[in-house]
Amino acid sequence: MANSTAPQDDATLRVAVLASGTGSNLQALIDAVAAGMLRVRIVLVCSDRPGCQALARAQAAGIATWARAPREFASRALFDESLFSAIADVQPGLIVCAGYLRLISPFAVARHAGRMINIHPSLLPAYPGLDTHARAIADGATSHGASVHFVNAALDAGPLIAQARVPVYRGDDAPTLGARVLAREHPLLVRVVGLFANRRLRLRDDAVWLDQQPLPQPLQLRDDDTLTLSGTPIDA
């Protein structure tokens, strides 16, 4: 069963998603496709956590899945060889790391440069890595948020595409702040994938280009879910 209501044609962007857990970002993409808001075809969902909820979400949407436990492989490189072989079989135009918690091997990053993005729950370059909400609160940050960036060989350090900013309130703890951030991740990711679907985004010389122009700073997601560049909507 196709997971898109839009008529499929060769021009439709094929997307593979990597996830390790709940899969709420994956679900946001699935729902946007089903609602006709996102003209892509999610062709494969891969996970390093067999049995995780993201895989169940994919199966419920009729999307093929690949899942293996890293302990089945003698090394990280062998796991990634198997993972990216499965990905190569479906020939995606875009790979989305959405709640995927493993570092990706340099060979895979190089092979997919410009076609692999990650969503991270902080305003990068602040707080790469884990426990971003607790760290922001501990530092007394007054704002926090989420970032979508191209994946490179470093952890959460690739060229920034777009960000969504949220306030940090005095009474926040990691769960309350995390929920506020997660609620903005979903429209942020859907709109960035939409820019790829419309062939508007490129990685060129390690910089993000939108509509044939280098981005001077990351796009910002407004409260009304509009993506803006220097305050001007870009009608994603």
Closer by beta carbon to ligand GRF, 109 or else 119: 119
Q: Does 121 bind ligand GRF (CB under 6 A)?
A: yes
Closer by beta carbon to ligand GRF, 22 or else 220: 22
Q: Does 156 bind ligand GRF (CB under 6 A)?
A: no
Q: Residue 221: in which H helix or E strand, if any?
A: strand 219-221
DSSP conformation class of 216: S
What mask of x and - would describe binding to ligand GRF in positions 162 to 201, judged by CB under 6 A? --------------------x--x----------------
Collapsed DSSP state (helix, strand, coil) of residue 98: strand
Paired with 204 in beta bridges are: 207
Residues 6+ apart with CB under 8 A from 132: 120, 121, 122, 144
Active site residue 133: no
Residues 6+ apart with CB under 8 A from 181: 121, 133, 144, 145, 146, 164, 166
Edge-to-edge strands, sheet with 227-229: 65-67, 40-47, 13-18, 94-98, 116-120, 143-150, 160-167, 219-221, 227-229, 232-233
Q: Which of 24, 47, 65, 152 contacts ligand GRF by CB under 6 A?
A: 24
Binding to ligand GRF (CB under 6 A): which residues in 41-100?
54, 98-99
Q: Does 33 bind ligand GRF (CB under 6 A)?
A: no
Closer by beta carbon to ligand GRF, 167 or else 175: 175
Q: Does 144 bind ligand GRF (CB under 6 A)?
A: no
DSSP conformation class of 143: E
Q: How near is the Cβ of 189 to ligand GRF at its closest, in Å?
A: 8
Q: Under the rule (CB under 6 A), what is the footprint of ligand GRF?
A: 19, 21-26, 54, 98-99, 119-121, 182, 185
* Residues carrying an active site annotation: 120
